[in-house]
A and B are shown apart, each in its own frame.
Chain A
Amino acid sequence: MFKTFPKGGIHPPENKLTADKPIVVLPVPPQVTVPVSQHIGAPAVPVVEKGTEVKAGQIIAEAKGFVSANIHSPVSGKVNKIDTFVDTTGYKQTAVLIDVQGDEWVETVDRSTTLVKEITMTREQIIERCKECGLVGLGGATFPTHIKMTVPSGKKCDLVIINGVECEPYLTSDHRLMLERGAEVLTGAAIIMKALGVERVIVGIEANKPDAIKHLTDLAAGFQGITIQPLKVKYPQGGEKQLIKACTGREVPSGGLPLDVGVVVQNVGTAYAVYEAVQKNKPLVERVVTVTGKKVKEPGNFQVRIGTPVTSLIEAAGGMPDDTGKVVNGGPMMGKALAMTDVPVTKGTSGIILFPSEESRRAVVQPCIRCGKCSSACAMGLEPWLISVLSEKAMFEKAEEEKITDCMECGACAYTCPAKRPLLDYIRLGKSTVIRMARERITK
């Protein structure tokens, strides 16, 4: 039985060109740029300086504050400099530049590929290990994992959902991870289950990945409490709240967190990272990135070190096609166009998509005719046309009343708009302004 969420949603063309391309491990680049802020929250503070010799897996920047994450060196070599660089978000931020020498890892890291299924650690140890290893949510939001695994007093968690939906078109990194490292992903899920003290895990996978559903269903027989839930294909099913609704029927209240309905959602990539951190003591220094596009010569899924320049990823995929109009970091729906390709891969980079110029340009914007297509497409039950106009006209108090902060920026509204209005651009602006206003109110 395929389940799905009831409200809104769209069906963009899937274009999963790389679904049958196995994960290729790319060689270590000659130089990496590791930003100190690759997560939501306070940037980490560098603990190395120019000239320091580092090994792969060694901590180079420590978490600062409650919501923050450690950063580890993805390579071995010498710190060239610590300076400001433009990263994938388009802003300048501090980064550690490392010249690569060899590939020497910290001794405590177990680099063997043997599957370790038995979980020997206690709850506290698991959470502490995730914190040490700088784990963040790899679905794109990059929220520090150890905070998500710590249930605050007064809240109760009874279910873990592993997000294998990958509803974004083009992206296949999670799909390949489930196929090729399925046992590790499920072990990771079991570890998360133990850390949260719950009995049940649901892995949600969309029906367009039948091989992954079958593979994981077979594997899940060897695990206690893990069920695989096939889901109807619909965007944005990978959104936490939509996935919870689809899998369990529970609805996260407006402004609330999944924990309010007793659920914690983790991405399959995160589950794999948790497995590596807990069983192999390996910090988060690598990830799988899909490099794709209709005119890309050899699109594929690549396992790369954090800090690898996007240019070398594009090279690995056969170089940039001549008529590329836009390079998008992330999925085509929620990703962001890069202003330059000379930026490093970070913990949150799930895909690099090269769009030919005829597909990349936006159409001419026309007036809103109040057709209501955006309202039907919105999976959060908002009125995108209204909140976008309110943000455009700087009526932020009103936008707050219209629950602009519930928007998850999935872009379904802008995709469906027949007048091609830049709805999400303004909603993002309004949302960030409203969040800032609310924060100022609290501090006052």
Chain B
Amino acid sequence: MSSTVLFTIAMLGILGFLAAVILYFVAQKFRVVEDPRIDLVNEALPGANCGGCGYTGCRAFAETLVKSTSFDGLNCPVGGADTMGKVALILDRQPVAVEPRVAVLRCNGTPANAARTSYYDGAVSCRVAHSLYGGTTGCHYGCLGCGDCVDACKFDAMYMDPVTELPVIIDDKCVACGACVKACPRNIIELRKRNKKDRKIYVSCVNKDKGGPARKACKVACIGCGKCVKVCPYEAITMENNLAFIDSYKCKLCRKCVAECPTGAILEIGFPVREERPAQPAEAATN
């Protein structure tokens, strides 16, 4: 009885030792040398794996960061300056200040502004609706309202407003990862420079039709009149395909264009109420 137990222990011991020796040599032979900083950087990153940096996940981004020689074009939009500062410390480099950005919805096609011409009954997905037809309004560029962007947001920074039928971006929670920008089949959402107090001036329209049809489809469409381009003292506004675009990096938030716009397509958000001319109503919804 006892000899069986002893024999078993001895055999297992010898086997274990042999396996250990083999494993030791195998480990020596096939050792992968990895930069220890990758782990450190990976820990410093938020770990959301949102892909906002342009890489498949935080680990892939950490590897890229360690391999890179400068921070040019590399930024974690989620962690922002804090995280990049920590990464810079680990990698012993100077951090590069990247201006924070925020997602902005460039459509104001609420049922009040853009009359509904049809009822969409298909799968609840903007991608599907977009592949089928122009949409429930006369505007073939605007928001379809199925909420693909909301589904894509990993930071709980968006929700669908049942009244306006448009998604709402919560500025405080938005980290500008760009997931919603990619999810939107109509390229309505844009990442713009985040200004002080979350102030914004932007053209809330992506309709590239000529003035007449655009206005017919939606009361607050950009009709491409070009008044804003003329009035802008900083050359921040460009006009392409009957659609004005305000460069958020050139814009100095003077608000001259807002007063000039005949359809109210340019929104100003986060500003105090004007003395001489009250701000356009019904904008808070698209905030």
Q: How far is the CA of A91 from the CA of B133 in the complex (A)?
A: 6
Q: Kindly name the residue among A91, A326, A339, A365 whose own CB sees the greatest number of chain B CB atoms within 10 A.
A: A339
CB pair A429–B127 under 8 Å, yes or no, is yes
What number of B residues sit within 8 Å (CB to CB) of A? Answer: 15
Residues of A within 8 A of B136 (CB): 339
Min CB distance A399 to B, Å, is 14
Q: How far is the CA of A337 from the CA of B122 in the complex (A)?
A: 10
CB pair A340–B132 under 8 Å, yes or no, is no
Interface residues of B in 102-149 (CB under 8 A from A): 117-118, 121-123, 125, 127-128, 131-136, 140
CB pair B133–A90 under 8 Å, yes or no, is yes
| Contact A90:B134 (CB < 8 A) given known A425-B128, A429-B128 | yes
CB pair B122–A422 under 8 Å, yes or no, is yes
| Contact A340:B117 (CB < 8 A) given known A92-B140, A422-B122, A426-B125 | yes
CB pair B118–A362 under 8 Å, yes or no, is no
**Pick the contact of A86 from B123, B125, B128, B134 — CB < 8 Å?**
B134
Task: Specify the main secondary structure of chain B where it touches its partner.
Answer: loop
CB pair A361–B121 under 8 Å, yes or no, is yes
**Pick the contact of B118 from A89, A340, A429 — CB < 8 Å?**
A340
Residues of A within 8 A of B133 (CB): 89-91, 336, 339
A428 within 8 A of B: yes
Nearest to B118 among chain A residues (CB) is A339
Interface size class of A (residues with CB under 8 A): 20 to 34
Min CB distance A429 to B, Å, is 5
CB pair A426–B117 under 8 Å, yes or no, is no
Interface residues of A in 110-154 (CB under 8 A from B): none
Residues of B within 8 A of A92 (CB): 134, 140
Q: How far is the CA of A44 from the CA of B128 in the complex (A)?
A: 27
CB pair A337–B121 under 8 Å, yes or no, is yes
**Pick the contact of A339 from B117, B125, B131 — CB < 8 Å?**
B117
Q: How far is the CA of A379 from the CA of B131 in the complex (A)?
A: 24
Residues of A within 8 A of B131 (CB): 428-429, 432
Residues of A within 8 A of B125 (CB): 392, 425-426, 429
Min CB distance B144 to A, Å, is 12
Q: How far is the CA of A90 from the CA of B128 in the complex (A)?
A: 13
Min CB distance B274 to A, Å, is 38
**Pick the contact of A336 from B127, B128, B132, B140 — CB < 8 Å?**
B132
Q: How far is the CA of A365 from the CA of B124 in the complex (A)?
A: 10
Residues of A within 8 A of B140 (CB): 86, 91-92
CB pair B123–A91 under 8 Å, yes or no, is no
CB pair B122–A90 under 8 Å, yes or no, is no
When each residue 355-386 of chain A gets 1 if its CB lies under 8 Å from chain B and 0 otherwise, what string results? 00000111001000000000000000000000
Q: How far is the CA of A54 from the CA of B127 in the complex (A)?
A: 41
| Contact A422:B118 (CB < 8 A) given known A90-B132, A90-B134, A428-B131 | no
Min CB distance B148 to A, Å, is 10
**Pick the contact of B123 from A326, A336, A426 — CB < 8 Å?**
A426
CB pair B134–A339 under 8 Å, yes or no, is yes
Interface residues of A in 75-89 (CB under 8 A from B): 86, 89
Q: Kindly name the residue among A90, A428, A432 whose own CB sees the greatest number of chain B CB atoms within 10 A.
A: A90
Q: Kindly name the residue among B123, B125, B133 whose own CB sees the greatest number of chain A CB atoms within 10 A.
A: B123
Residues of A within 8 A of B128 (CB): 422, 425-426, 428-429
Residues of A within 8 A of B127 (CB): 429
| Contact A91:B134 (CB < 8 A) given known A425-B128, A429-B127, A429-B128 | yes
When each residue 9-49 of chain A gets 1 if its CB lies under 8 Å from chain B and 0 otherwise, what string results? 00000000000000000000000000000000000000000
Residues of A within 8 A of B123 (CB): 365, 422, 425-426
* Sample (17) of A-B pairs whose CB atoms are under 8 Å apart: A90-B132, A90-B134, A92-B140, A326-B121, A339-B117, A339-B133, A339-B134, A339-B136, A360-B121, A362-B122, A392-B125, A422-B122, A425-B123, A425-B125, A425-B128, A428-B131, A429-B131
Known: A92-B140, A428-B131, A429-B125. 6 other contacts (CB 8 A): A86-B140, A337-B121, A339-B118, A365-B123, A425-B125, A425-B132
